[in-house]
């Protein structure tokens, strides 16, 4: 089924008269399987998002349990110091492997509804970034997008050892973009960005008058979050 939407988010049609799979990022997933990835496209002044669903297979989609994922995870030592938790579902397919990178506050089980479907045609890796999930959370470590991007590239180089398609969500997608831009060994075959996050410090970009107006407020937030008691209280509240 193909859903078409205009720029006002109103559905235009749900037909699939041409029977084509244009606009689909992974077209061979379409057929008798439930596809999980698509992409938007534009025609004239209309924007579209394509989504193909086979209702007959939807009820049979496998969802991995959190405990099942934890049991199948392995550990990898990054830089010989930090234990990184990762999951792999192997496939005999010759398609490039996939690496799933979660967003802020998430971990590998975030992908539990996607792994089995993707694993039908790909070898699927998923990783807990440093500071999340079952990976180490070292105190005093300088967490940054660049550090997570370096972690991703080292994981591809040492564990996957093949050109890989990166699939990131939120902050994970930003880390994937940085990793792809810094890769010099053809480690990244492609990237898929879901809910892509902006820069961690994009408030420093002050060429927009609206951001200039907000700068005092942003500076106040920065100051408050540097107070340990306040930051701890906010974090404890947010994680609930």
Q: Enumerate residues 6+ apart whose C-beta is below 8 A from 132.
A: 102, 105, 106, 107
One-character DSSP codes across 115-158 = HHHHHTTS-EEEE--TTSTTS---TT----HHHHHHHHHHHIII
- List of the chain residues with pLDDT < 50: 1-53, 57-59
Q: Which residues contact 199 (CB under 8 A, 6 or more apart)?
A: 145, 174, 205
Does the pTM surpass 0.75? The reply is: no
pLDDT of residue 240: 67
What is residue 22's predicted lDDT score, i.e. its pLDDT?
A: 38
Domains of the chain (ranges, CATH numbers):
68-201 (3.40.50.1820), 208-239 (no CATH)
Q: Report how far apart, in Å, the C-alpha atoms of 195 and of each of 32, 51, 111, 169, 170 are.
A: 27, 16, 14, 6, 5
pLDDT score for 202: 54
pLDDT of 199 reads: 57
pLDDT, residue 38, reads 44
The tens digit of pLDDT for each residue in 143-187 reads: 889 999 999 999 999 999 999 999 999 999 999 999 999 997 789
């Amino acid at each position: 089924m193909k859903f078409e939407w205009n720029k006002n988010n109103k559905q235009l049609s749900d037909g699939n008269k041409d029977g084509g799979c244009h606009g689909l990022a992974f077209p061979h997933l379409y057929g008798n399987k439930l596809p999980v990835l698509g992409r938007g496209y534009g025609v004239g002044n209309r924007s579209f998002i394509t989504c193909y669903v086979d209702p007959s297979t939807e009820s049979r989609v496998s969802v991995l349990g959190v405990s099942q994922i934890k049991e199948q995870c392995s550990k990898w030592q990054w830089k010989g110091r930090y234990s990184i938790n990762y999951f792999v579902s192997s496939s005999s397919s010759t398609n490039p492997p996939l690496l799933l990178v979660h967003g802020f506050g998430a971990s590998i089980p975030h992908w539990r509804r996607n792994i089995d479907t993707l694993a039908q045609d790909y070898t699927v890796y998923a990783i807990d970034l440093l500071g999340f999930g079952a990976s180490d959370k070292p105190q005093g470590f300088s967490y940054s997008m660049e550090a997570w991007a370096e972690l991703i590239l080292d994981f591809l180089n040492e564990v996957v050892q093949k050109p890989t398609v990166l699939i990131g969500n939120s902050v994970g997608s930003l880390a994937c973009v940085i990793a792809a831009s810094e890769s010099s060994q053809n480690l990244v075959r492609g990237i898929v960005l879901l809910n892509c996050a902006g820069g961690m410090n994009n408030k420093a970009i002050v060429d927009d008058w609206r951001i200039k107006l907000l700068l005092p407020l942003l500076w106040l937030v920065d100051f408050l979050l540097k107070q340990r008691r306040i930051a701890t209280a906010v974090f404890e509240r947010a994680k609930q």
